[in-house]
Amino acid sequence: MTDFQQQPQPYYPPRPPYDPTQPVSTEPGTTIWPSGGQVPPPTVTPPPAPAAAAPLPHRRARRGVGLLAAVAIAAAVIGGGTATLVQQLTADTAPAANGVSGTNVSASSKGTVSGVAQAVSPSIVEISATGSSGKSTGSGVIITGDGEIVTNNHVISGASSIGVQLSDGRTYQAKVVGTDPDKDLALIKLEGASGLKAATLGDSDQVKVGDEVVAIGSPEGLTGTVTSGIVSALDRDVTVAKDDGQDQQQPQYDPRQGWPFEFGGQEFNGDTGSSKTTYKALQTDASLNPGNSGGALINMDGEIIGINSAMYAPSSSNGSSAGSVGLGFAIPVNTLKADLDGLRDGGSN
């Protein structure tokens, strides 16, 4: 043999200067390879998955509450921006509030005087009635889109012409459809009107003493005046004159001094005469003044609960009216609803 053949064969590739490390076994199904050398990827054998259990409803609810609570805590630290986000999240989980049809108060403004005023003011009008005894100003409530308007009988009684101004400044002429002097109610109709915003008539039987209310009308010709207060009493017996000037023994009234009425055996704002009628009224401390007659008394959902009809204004030292002292009266809307068909048929005209 040659020398080449006598030399031992080299090992290829060369052996490392140390013995290869051995894997360390832990619990069954898991193998851990020590660091160093060429380490193959870990081999993990997952244990068998347990049978899926049905989710418990209360756990999901807790998670939602916990999430909202966590966001609320973060909002308190970060400030108003996150607080708004919390409100949005909670609002998304709450049922949507249904608005009131007709005179609709938005969900964000519901229960506020400004929200009620914004929703209902387009349905309240100013009425100018001209007759033999002069010109008087009152208010009215639109109840149909084509211009049916409810007001007090004493506002339009004896009028030869009736002008109506809407909240947006448009003016119309109106005709009397029907009157009911016994209830001090009247129905008039605008000529050539359409697309008007009609008010929503509520339920006066649900009204309670202490309920917040808003009054809208045109006192002293100040169109769209808004006042607020509460219902201070129910079922007040209020007596008013039926017709202006139809009873020859009845004096001619200056409409700017308010419509006379009786309550508790006393006369207010002048002599009611011999032709008069009594009705059950809602009493309110919302400020009413001459010109509010025929306007609306409204609950905080934007529903009409009464037609304003009388107010007590004590005389000042010079004999003129001293203005409202928080004793106003309104015809309950359920009285109007029960009488509406009769008014549309002409009433007791």
Residues designated catalytic: 154, 184, 293
Q: Which residues contact 28 (CB under 8 A, 6 or more apart)?
A: none
| Closest by CA position to 333, among listed 214, 239, 228, 207 | 207
> CA separation (Å) from 226 to 61, 130, 136, 213, 298?
45, 25, 20, 11, 11
Q: Please name the amino acid found at residue 222.
A: L
Host H or E run for residue 76: helix 57-78
Q: What is the DSSP letter of 28?
A: T
Alpha helices in 150-309 (DSSP H): 153-156
Peptide bond preceding 28 in cis form (omega within 30 of 0): no
Task: Find the angle CA(46)-CA(51)-CA(57) to the nearest 5 degrees.
Answer: 125
The whole-angstrom separation of Cα 280 and Cα 239 is: 9
Instruction: Find out whether 296 and 257 touch, Cβ atoms under 8 Å.
Output: no
The 3-state DSSP class for residue 117 equals helix
Instruction: Find out whether 257 and 321 touch, Cβ atoms under 8 Å.
Output: yes
